[in-house]
Amino acid sequence: MASDKLQAIISEYQTLREEIQRRSTDQMHCIVASVVSVGALISLIAQNPLKYSPILIVIPWILAVFGIIWLDYNRSIFLLGQYIRDEIEGKKLPELLESSEINWIGWQHYISEKREKWLLPSYIVFILPFFYFIIPSIVCVIAYIILRLYGTITMPKTIEWCFLSIGIIFIVILLHSWYRSYGITREDKIKKVI
């Protein structure tokens, strides 16, 4: 009976680790896809800035969508790791250890202890979304507005305000997702200290 429970725990652990790996790979795909698409748009704009500068307003859309997806994967990875640490390594496995001498699953506890010293989640949760997704989106909106004020960009006002509004809404959603993703990892660290 104990070996069946152990097999079920190991199977659950492996399934969750595979899910974490899949989501990590999908995060990398988000980065690559956003670099390629934004790079293509910037190279198009660089070819003829007067003609293609209105495309600047689309860049925040691309970065925001990929950023929101990246942050959602990040949040899910953190929650999966937290479940492994708290439920599998913290409750299920110790119950079984009373009748078994197997004690080799403990990665989430190990990495959690290492990160507790910093009191911050992994820097990638904070730095990458902020400097890659958020700042460039805001810069593109500001650049678009400056170019519009100086008369470099001409576009029908209704379309322009629609695109600009949607871009700003995406940036706000991205900021909220970033705060939420960063906040959930930060809360876990504060709980451990208290």
Between residues 4 and 30, which one has the greater pLDDT? 30
Calculate the CA 101 to chain-centre distance.
38
Over 50: is that where the pLDDT of 185 sits? yes
Q: Which of 27, 35, 29 is nearest to 62 (CA)?
A: 35
Is pLDDT at 166 greater than 90 in this prediction?
Answer: yes
Give the total number of structural domains in the chain.
1
Average pLDDT in the chain = 83
Percent of residues, the chain, with pLDDT higher than 90: 39
Which tops the pLDDT comparison, 94 or 13? 13
Q: In a 3-state reduction of DSSP, which class is residue 101?
A: coil
Token readout for 186 is: 């930060």
Q: Look at residue 103 in the predicted model and tell me its pLDDT.
A: 47
C-beta separation of 163 from 62 below 8 A = no
Most confident of 33-47, 106-120, 145-159, 179-193: 33-47
Give the model's confidence band at 147: pLDDT under 50 very low, under 70 low, under 90 confident, else very high: confident
pLDDT at 100 over 80: no
Going by pLDDT thresholds of 50, 70 and 90, the confidence category of residue 139 is very high
* Whether pTM exceeds 0.85: no
Quote the pLDDT of residue 120.
54
Please state, in angstroms and rounded to a whole number, the distance separating the CA atoms of residues 174 and 152: 28
Full residue range of the structural domain in which residue 78 is found: 2-193
Token pair, residue 20, equals 């974490």
Of 39-43, 106-110, 123-127, 145-149, the poorest mean pLDDT is in 106-110
